[in-house]
């Protein structure tokens, strides 16, 4: 039996996911993905989700689970890149007494925890070669043994794999077993980058503004038409995650003027649209733009961990309160204002 707290955390509440119209939007490529999902809902077929970082692979995996006939069973996620290779096997298959140093009792692996539900294997190419072989065996006949055990067990789950690298290339470069690749790529969903579905940005933005305003207990900020146009001009290399972070800043700051100015600089510095190329410093400028985005994301993470308490966040980051406010309003500021010594992330 699964402990009650684990059991609860493995449930997916559809209300926590964006609605279908937001997840798939209106482009033909994403609509095709929606249709493909319909075809696999009642089967046990493995599904592979490919897409750049932040394109919503996990959201799609959860969506698929909630629509499938497994929706009452657990959705269990394992990020193969986040767990040391030595622990991954026991995480996945479980272990029996004495199998590992300090292993006192038997422990269920995630395959057993996901019983009758969905196992989501993120960053699948990061799994060791040997473990890939064991996973292949499980996918072929549904059987496995716990680490240190001898009893053959059966898992009744659907496996969804995801990767932000092209798995065909991972096969070519020898990091992913070819036999495993063919086993998991039966149904492959290639998620569009946000830059290839820009027509969906206004609806996604509206959804995020509502969701985050409710979450942060702020009023919904009004984005002016110039900002909305800029949102469609920026290429969003971090995809939906970057857009979500941008909207979070708009909600926290409550006015979009500074953010709009920042977007304008970003758009211009990458040579899009009405750019004067001579204003662009080339790769160096792009690097610092990416760095400031990363810095802003790092600040947001600390803010979120501190329940949006800006004073505590400034203290944790060892910067002045004013410097934090400045960085939130203008993440690129440190690059241009020589006098800004307050915020090490932005120097």
Ligand X SMILES: Nc1ncnc2c1ncn2[C@@H]1O[C@H](COP(=O)(O)OP(=O)(O)OP(=O)(O)O)[C@@H](O)[C@H]1O
- Which residues of this chain interact with ligand X, rule CB under 6 A? 18, 22-23, 51, 53-59, 164, 204, 207-208, 240-241, 244
Give the up-direction half-sphere exposure of residue 101: CA atoms within 13 A in the CB hemisphere.
2
Q: How far, CA to CA in Å, does 67 sit from each of 47, 111, 298?
A: 14, 20, 34
Q: How far is the CB of 50 from Mg ion (least distance, A)?
A: 12
Measure the CA–CA gap between 146 and 279, rounded to whole angstroms.
60
Q: How far is the CB of 25 from ligand X (least distance, A)?
A: 7
> 67 is in the binding site of which of ligand X, Mg ion, none (Cβ under 5 to 8 A by kind)?
none
Q: How far is the CB of 58 from ligand X (least distance, A)?
A: 3
Find the angle CA(101)-CA(103)-CA(107) to the nearest 5 degrees: 145
Q: How far is the CB of 98 from ligand X (least distance, A)?
A: 35
Q: Which is nearer to Mg ion, 57 or 197 (CB)?
A: 57
Paired tokens of 218: 């702020």
The residue written with tokens 């699964």 in the block is 2
Find the angle CA(345)-CA(235)-CA(259) to the nearest 5 degrees: 50
Of 53-61, 64-72, 215-223, 241-249, which part binds Mg ion (CB under 5 A)?
53-61
Q: Which is nearer to ligand X, 77 or 265 (CB)?
A: 77
Q: How far is the CB of 55 from Mg ion (least distance, A)?
A: 9
> 256 is in the binding site of which of ligand X, Mg ion, none (Cβ under 5 to 8 A by kind)?
none
> 345 is in the binding site of which of Mg ion, ligand X, none (Cβ under 5 to 8 A by kind)?
none
Binding of Mg ion by 58 (CB under 5 A): yes
Q: Which residue is nearest to ligand X (CB)?
A: 56
Binding residues for Mg ion (CB under 5 A): 57-58
């Amino acid at each position: 039996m699964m402990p009650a707290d684990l059991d609860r955390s493995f449930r997916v509440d559809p209300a926590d996911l964006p609605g279908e119209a937001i997840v798939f939007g209106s482009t033909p490529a994403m609509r095709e993905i929606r249709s493909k999902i319909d075809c696999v809902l009642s089967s046990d077929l493995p599904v592979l989700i490919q897409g750049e970082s932040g394109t919503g692979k996990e959201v799609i995996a959860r969506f698929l689970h909630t629509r499938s006939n497994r929706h009452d069973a657990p959705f269990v996620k394992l990020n193969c890149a986040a767990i040391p290779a030595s622990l991954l096997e026991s995480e996945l298959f479980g272990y029996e007494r004495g199998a590992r140093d300090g292993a006192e009792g038997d422990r269920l692996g995630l395959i057993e925890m996901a019983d009758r539900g969905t196992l989501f294997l993120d960053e699948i190419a990061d799994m060791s070669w040997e473990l890939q072989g064991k996973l292949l065996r499980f996918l072929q006949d549904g059987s496995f043994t716990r680490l240190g055990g001898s009893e053959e067990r059966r898992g009744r789950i659907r496996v969804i794999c995801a990767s932000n690298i092209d798995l065909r290339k991972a096969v070519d470069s020898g990091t992913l077993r070819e036999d495993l690749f063919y086993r998991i790529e039966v149904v492959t969903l290639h998620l569009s980058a946000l830059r290839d579905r820009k027509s969906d940005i206004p609806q996604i933005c509206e959804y995020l503004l509502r969701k985050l305003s409710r979450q942060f207990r702020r009023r919904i900020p009004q984005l002016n038409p110039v900002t909305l146009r800029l949102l469609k001009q920026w290429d969003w290399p971090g995809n939906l995650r970057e857009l979500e972070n941008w909207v979070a800043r708009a909600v926290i700051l409550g006015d979009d003027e500074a953010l709009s100015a920042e977007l304008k600089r970003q758009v211009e510095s990458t040579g899009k649209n009405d750019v004067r190329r001579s204003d662009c410093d080339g790769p160096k400028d792009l690097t610092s733009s990416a760095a400031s985005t990363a810095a802003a994301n790092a600040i947001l993470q600390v803010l979120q961990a501190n329940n949006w308490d800006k004073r505590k966040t400034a203290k944790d980051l060892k910067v002045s309160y004013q410097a934090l406010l400045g960085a939130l309003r203008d993440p690129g500021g440190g690059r241009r204002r020589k006098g800004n010594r307050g915020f090490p992330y932005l120097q």
